[in-house]
A and B are shown apart, each in its own frame.
Chain A
Amino acid sequence: MLKIKKIEIEGFRGFTQKTPIEFENPITLLYGGNHQGKSSVVNSIEWCLYGDECIGEKSGIRERVGTGEMAWRVVNDNSEKAQVKLEIEGESGLFTITRAEVKGKGKKGKSLKVSLPNGIEKEEEEAEKELVKILRVSFKDFATTVYQHQEAIHDFVIQKPSEQSDVMDRLLGLSDYRNILDGIKRSDIQKIQKEITEEFNKFQIRVQEAIKIRQNDLEDKKSKAKGKGLDEEDLNENKLLKLAQSTIKDIDNFARLLGLKAVPIPALSYSKNSESFITGIKNECNRLWAESPDIKEQSEKQKNRSEIVSLKSKFETQYHNFKAKEKELNDFEIENGNKDEINEKIRKIADEIEAIDREINRISPKAKLVEEGISILTSAAPPEADLCPLCGKKVPGLIEHLQKEWEEIIKTKVEELNKQQRDLNKKKSDLERLNKEYIRLVEDAQREKEGLKKAINNISGFLRKEFSEKDDPAAILSVEIKNIDLRLKEIEDAIKSKRATIDGILERLDMIKLLYEILLLKNKLEQINQIQSTDTYQTQEKIRTDVSNLIRDVEKLGKIIKSCMLREAEQRIDLTRSSIDYYFRKITCNSAFQTLGIKVEEDKKTGGNLYIFEDQDGKRPIPILSQGDLNSLALSIFLGLAKTSEDSHPLGFIVMDDPSQSLDSQEKSRLVEIINEIGDIKSIIVSTMDSELQQLLKNGITKVKSIYKFSDWALTSGPKISKET
């Protein structure tokens, strides 16, 4: 049994200065008004033993749930550090537990040290582990079997039956069973089977789809095979090899037909070599075809024909061009005469032009004289105007005469001669232009003639034949084309039958390919069927079976644990029933209850324990109990169990925080009697603000007690604690 000997509190919640409190006596009473630090003492015990477990959501205590400003504070507002040092004495000696927390440092600011009776000290993680070993009580269990926190008991009295059962299990010290069941429940062990099954199911769906696709493909190919004359019984390897064999024979025959020799193609001994076999045969077919004499001749003849057609076309074009030029020249000569005639005309005109020139030259000096004479006479005075500028003779009307001479004879004549000369010059130019035209036509005709000659030479060269003037190259070429066409037709007819042979071979190859694909599909489907017999498949089967076995074992174990838990609950209730009944009836003194019975049975839903409270008539009393009665019931259970909990955990003390809520004076008095009784087996720490209870405890407890009065709490100094003797 572990009992608290002493605690030293500094900087923790309501405490600022280092404050020791001794728990040397069986009963310790902490009393004082609200907010004087009493609960801080009780909390410090919790916190020292359990650290962060007693804070926040995990604690299960609603007032300690909150964050930020609402967080349940460990470090006093006026301190930088909280430290609690707890001395606990057991059979092996004294344990000292020191826990500290520095404000604002988070995890780094927290520390724990555990000193063992043998002097060994452990810190941090090691210390936490050691503490678990020493206490063997989880915080939740502590909060319901050691520390009578109002809230935990309150939950018991108002919560649903399944949650009441949870509290009852803990009260009865069955938390190890519950924790183990909880640990198993939280694990992924139940999930794994579902996950594995779903994954395998997805695989099965994939397999089904793969089979369906291949089966559809197979049906399609079988249908095509049937169209090619292959029945169901032909769809096998033997048939494929036979087809391959006959194809090789066909190729040999074909080569012979062409007068060639086939390249030896290895026989197909396994269907898996089909693709390379098919390629080999196709290549050989192409080769034989290309080298076939008929094909070669056909190719050559076609080439020749193309050439001849081209030569003929060129010749005809050239001939046409030449003839056109020749006609043009002829037409020109007819119209304009030939070169000599044109030249003759030019010469004549040139002579005429020269004659006119002479005449003009003859007339011109006289014209000049007359002109000058007119000018002199015009400018002279009237009497002199009639004087001849040459001989000086007077001739009346000389100017008029000269002017008349100029106008009518000279000017007119000269103008006429000039006009004639101009006309003749024009004619001459035209004739010269015609001459040039003529020369050009002659040259063109010559050029075309040369071209024609060249075309004829090309034909001659191609045909290796000399032409005489009587030969018509175009006609000769036409005859050649006709001969070639006749020959090509003969070749085509010969090739047709050979083409049918090769088509037959290619058709056979298609059948082989189709058959091969069918065999591949069948093989694949068979492989899929055979998956079940592979080691991999068997291994996954084994894993699934192992998982099933593991889950079954875990479930079996779970049932055994629950059965043990039930049996133990029954045993403890058997031990405690009378105490609880006794305490309840003693505290409440309610005449309606002659007995309060508790029984436990298996919860059909969860397999866990279900606790049922009954009165003497077998009725369930909880729905009709008053608040005071419920609290009394909660206290009775707590105290009854406290009395009998020696086996469930090693903590030999209990803490009661404000136990007298809703109790009247009589009930408080009876409670004190009970506390006195329990003081025989456990140390009791009672914290209360209830002055009535405090007095009752002072006067009613017959055990040695320590009484601490809490008062005058101040922010800087904490509570003022005085120990009463």
Chain B
Amino acid sequence: MGFKEKVQDKIKEDKLRSLWHEICESYEQGGIAQIKASLDSQVDKIKKDYMQQLEDLKKMI
């Protein structure tokens, strides 16, 4: 059983499981750098969305 399966075995939550799959896929595609890139792109999108909401809130004051 490879490391992927060993970790998956220990995961009980679906959300965590899909996160793990996502990370493994990134790792297989491009190693450490790809994991970082994949997570960072999620983070960038979150940040962009958030800043937009904040700008809209600022207009209200």
Contacts and interface: CB of A to CB of B under 8 A. Distances in A.
Q: Do A and B contact each other directly (Cβ–Cβ < 8 Å)? A: yes
Interface of A: 129, 132-133, 138, 174, 176-177, 179-180, 182-184, 186-189, 191-192, 195-196, 199-200, 203, 206-207, 210, 527-528, 531, 534, 536-537, 539-540, 543-544, 546-547, 549-550, 553-554, 556-557, 560-561, 563-564, 567-568
Contacts of B57: 203, 531, 534, 536-537, 540
Given A195-B47, A543-B49, A132 B19 contact: no
A182 B32 contact: yes
Interface string B13-32: 10110011001101111011
Q: Main SS of the interface on chain A?
A: helix
Nearest to A173: B3
A554 B38 CA distance: 13
25 contacts: A133-B28, A176-B27, A183-B23, A183-B27, A186-B32, A188-B43, A188-B44, A189-B42, A192-B43, A192-B47, A196-B46, A196-B50, A199-B50, A199-B54, A206-B61, A207-B61, A539-B53, A543-B46, A553-B16, A556-B13, A557-B11, A557-B20, A557-B23, A563-B10, A564-B6
B20 to A, nearest CB: 6
Interface string B39-61: 11011101101110110111011
A158 B53 CA distance: 52
Nearest to A538: B53
A186 to B, nearest CB: 5
Contacts of A206: 58, 61
Contacts of B43: 187-189, 191-192
A187 B39 contact: yes
A396 B54 CA distance: 151
A527 B61 CA distance: 8
A564 B39 contact: no
B41 to A, nearest CB: 10
A568 B34 CA distance: 25
Given A199-B51, A543-B53, A528 B61 contact: yes
Nearest first, the 10 A-B pairs at minimum CB distance are A183-B35, A187-B39, A540-B53, A183-B32, A186-B36, A176-B3, A187-B36, A192-B43, A210-B61, A536-B56
B33 to A, nearest CB: 8
A184 B39 contact: yes
A489 B36 CA distance: 92
A196 B16 contact: no
Contacts of A531: 57, 60-61
Contacts of B24: 180
A556 B16 contact: yes
A184 B15 contact: no
A138 B32 CA distance: 10
A543 B19 CA distance: 18
A568 B35 contact: no
